[in-house]
Every structure is written in C-alpha cells, then in structure tokens.
C-alpha cells in the first residue's frame, strides 16, 4: 500500500441510523433540551410552593397527610353539605383546626379531619371545658379547674395541673401561651410559657383581679383586663406588660364595666370588648377609638389577632342587627344591616362569616355580600375552615359549607 494512500476504517451502520432523516441529531438535542427545561421548571415550581407554604411544613401536617392516605383519600369529604355527627355528649366546644376540627367535651378532646375521622382522642374529665386552636396547636383547659392540655394532631405535648384554679388562658400561633390562675396569696397570677413549655414570665397580682388576657403574636408582650376595688368602688383597667419588665408599661382605666375579652397585637395595639362597646388603645395606652353599642344589645363578636375586629349588636325591639367591622387602628370599615339576630360570626383574612337562625352569610370586611345559604342544620356557631369554607355547628353535628 502506498504511504500516501488514505486509510479508511469501515463501520457498518445500524438500521435506525440508515433510516434516520437528515437533521435527526439536532431534533434529539432539542428534545433533550426541552425535557431539561420542563424538569427545571417543575423543580422551580416545587421550590416556590415550598417557600410559600414553609410555615405549614411541619411533622404534624406530614403525619396528617400520611394518615389520610392510610385511611383512604375518600375520607376527605370536604364537600358541600357533608356532615360530622356527634355520637356522644352533645354539649361541648368546637373549633377549626388545620383542615378539620377539634372538639372538647367534659369527657374527651377529639381531633378530626373534615370527614369526622379521628386522629386522636384525649381523656379530659373537665367540669367546664374551654378550647383554643392555632395553626399548629390545640389548647384545652378546665375553667375553674387546674388542668391544661396542649396537643397537635397526634400527641399530647403539654399536660399540666397548676397549683390554683385556671381563670382563663391565651395562645399564639408560635406556641407561646399565657395562663391566669387564682391565688390564695394574691388576687391572681399571670404565667407565660414559651413554645418549649418553659415558664418565661410571671406576675403575682396583689391588687387587681385579672379576668381576660391577650397575648401578642411575637410572644413579647400581653394585655390583661382587670379591675380593683377601693372604698367599695370597682375600677376596670387594661394593663399592658412587656416580658422584660415586671411592672406594667401602661394602664388605661375605664369608668364602666370590665372588659370581657381582649386582643393584643405585635405592634402594641390592644382591642377590648366591654358590654357597652369596644375600645382600641395604641401602644402608649392612649385610646384611639371607642365604638359604643348605645341602646343596642351585643350579640356576637370577633376580636381578630391580625387586622380586623367585628362586632354584632341588635335592637331588642325589632330584632334587626348591625355588624360593624373596624381595623386595628379603630377606623370603621363597614356597618352591615343583617336584618336578623346574629347567633355567631367569624373572621378569616378579609372575609367575615355571619350566622342567623335562618341564614349563612359571607361578606368581605368592607360589607360586600359574597355568599348566602340557608341555615338548614339549626346551627348556632359558625367557623371558617380556610378561606373558602365555613363550618356550621349545632348541638348534634357539624355541616361543611363551601363558599361560592
């Protein structure tokens, strides 16, 4: 062979290569690139979902999901008109918890999904059970008794019997909670715990009786409704505490009745409900606004921990009711004439649910009617279950209602 002669190596083509049209290599490359883009977009979308819902990513929610899968997805009956029947002890308290409910009676605390399937049941033995729920926890205690229980969906996290009887309690979404107890040596005690159930603050009230407590969402301060008696005269107060000081940061006095409920926000704003109306106080103890019922009778209310407060009051003569919504600054956002006695109301974001003997009414906080349904279950309590559904609770069951 001549050294200048080109040398070629023969390779036999496969049938697919022989049949491949011109440009098929570029097509394969393009398809691979498209698949890569789709996978990349899916990863980004998943990361966005995780970021948006990062506050809901916890072991309790994950266990609830696994439990639903184990029970069967058909157990998720979040359908219009679905019913959870009470098969025992019709008396008790109900509150929305995650995508289901918590219910406490004198016998037990039960945590369920929206189909009534139980995640857990805890024996209580309470004489006067009280119930609070947050995004993460369920708190129940025996008002006038000593025992307080905090759970998630599957486990009892805190079960404690105090030295003295419990007057009231409050809890925020992070798990910080405050308990007011009676005391032989003092008028009352205010005891605050962090989310790890460690005591972080205590006040022994020597001169004032504490009836209600509001805990800020940041867990740094609290407001209490109290009163003291001097020369047979009772003086109602609101006392505001920061947990880095034993003395009240400010005290606001009132000439009339004691506040029956109180809400404390992280910006220091306090809203208090009295039998005569609502008072909103700023972080310096100055009253920003006062909403008075006048001759009307208070029927239902919701002091929100976020932006809004709502209160329903009615005329005993003609049975009409007005629902007033005002923000944390005291500015009135709406006054809605419902036309019937309000049995219950609730707030969720910028929506408000109102229950009368005949109607289920959903409004925006500005007073716009979103949805109207019949109260066919003879319900007496209404609770938001997320933004797009409400639970109507009666003495014998809970009815799930979708919002149009």
Could you report the per-residue pLDDT of 215-250, keeping only the tens digit for each?
998 889 999 999 998 888 899 999 999 998 888 999
Please tell me which residue, 306 or 219, carries the higher pLDDT value: 219
| Three-point CA angle 371, 373, 379, nearest 5° | 125
| pLDDT per residue as tens digits for the range 241-282 | 999 888 899 999 998 789 999 999 888 889 999 999 999 999
Instruction: Give the model's confidence band at 6: pLDDT under 50 very low, under 70 low, under 90 confident, else very high.
Output: very low
What pLDDT score does 392 carry? 93
Instruction: Give the model's confidence band at 115: pLDDT under 50 very low, under 70 low, under 90 confident, else very high.
Output: confident
Q: What is the pTM of this model?
A: 0.80
β-strand partners of 250: 240
Pairwise CA distance, residues 173 & 304, whole Å: 13
Residue 281: other Cβ atoms inside 10 A = 24
Count the helix, strand and coil residues of the chain and give each as a percent rounded to the nearest 5: 15, 45, 40
Mean pLDDT of the chain: 84
What pLDDT score does 5 carry? 47
* Contact (Cβ atoms closer than 8 angstroms) between residue 179 and residue 148: yes
Task: Work out the average pLDDT over 55-76.
Answer: 59
| Three-point CA angle 168, 169, 171, nearest 5° | 160
* Contact (Cβ atoms closer than 8 angstroms) between residue 268 and residue 282: yes
List alpha helices for 53-136, DSSP H.
Answer: 59-71
Residue 91 is encoded by which pair of tokens? 């008396």
Asked if pLDDT for residue 76 goes beyond 90, the answer is no
Pairwise CA distance, residues 49 & 53, whole Å: 6
> Residue ranges per domain, the chain?
303-325+337-404
Instruction: Give the model's confidence band at 403: pLDDT under 50 very low, under 70 low, under 90 confident, else very high.
Output: confident
> 82-96, 102-116, 350-364: which has the minimum mean pLDDT?
82-96
Please tell me which residue, 91 or 135, carries the higher pLDDT value: 135
Instruction: Give the model's confidence band at 141: pLDDT under 50 very low, under 70 low, under 90 confident, else very high.
Output: very high
* Contact (Cβ atoms closer than 8 angstroms) between residue 150 and residue 139: yes
| pLDDT per residue as tens digits for the range 8-23 | 444 454 554 455 555 5
């Amino acid at each position: 062979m001549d050294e200048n002669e080109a040398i070629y190596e023969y390779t036999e083509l496969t049938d697919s290569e022989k049949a491949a049209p011109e440009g098929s290599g570029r097509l394969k490359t393009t398809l691979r690139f498209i698949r890569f883009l789709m996978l990349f977009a899916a990863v980004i979308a998943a990361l966005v979902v995780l970021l948006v819902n990062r506050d809901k990513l916890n072991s309790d929610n994950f266990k609830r999901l696994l439990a639903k899968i184990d029970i069967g997805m058909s157990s998720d009956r979040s359908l219009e008109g679905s019913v959870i029947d009470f098969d025992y002890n019709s008396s008790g308290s109900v509150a929305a918890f995650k995508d289901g409910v918590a219910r406490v009676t004198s016998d037990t605390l039960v945590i369920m999904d929206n189909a009534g399937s139980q995640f857990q049941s805890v024996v209580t033995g309470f004489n006067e059970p009280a119930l609070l729920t947050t995004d993460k926890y369920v708190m129940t205690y025996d008002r006038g008794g000593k025992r307080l229980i905090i759970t998630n969906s599957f486990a009892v996290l805190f079960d404690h019997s105090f030295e003295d009887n419990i007057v009231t309690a409050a809890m925020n979404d992070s798990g910080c909670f405050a308990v007011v107890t009676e005391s032989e040596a003092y008028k009352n005690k205010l005891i605050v715990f962090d989310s790890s159930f460690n005591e972080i603050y205590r006040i022994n009230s020597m001169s004032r009786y504490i009836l209600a407590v509001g805990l800020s969402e940041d867990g740094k301060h609290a407001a209490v409704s109290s009163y003291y008696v001097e020369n047979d005269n009772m003086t109602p107060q609101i006392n505001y505490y920061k947990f880095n000081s034993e003395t009240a940061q400010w005290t606001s006095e009132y000439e009339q009745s004691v506040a029956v409920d109180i809400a404390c926000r992280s910006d220091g704003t306090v809203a208090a409900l009295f039998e005569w109306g609502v008072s909103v106080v700023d972080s310096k103890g100055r009253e920003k606004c006062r909403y008075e019922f006048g001759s009307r009778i208070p029927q239902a209310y919701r002091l929100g921990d976020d932006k809004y407060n709502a209160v329903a009051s009615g005329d005993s003569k003609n049975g009409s009711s007005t629902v007033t919504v005002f923000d944390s600054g005291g500015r009135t956002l709406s006054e809605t004439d419902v036309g019937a006695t309000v049995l219950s109301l609730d707030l969720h974001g910028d929506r408000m649910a109102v229950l009368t003997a005949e109607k289920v009414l959903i409004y925006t906080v500005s007073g716009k009617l979103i949805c109207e349904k019949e109260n066919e279950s003879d319900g007496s309590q209404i609770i938001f279950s997320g933004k797009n559904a409400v639970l109507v609770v009666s003495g014998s069951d809970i009815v799930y209602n979708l919002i149009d």
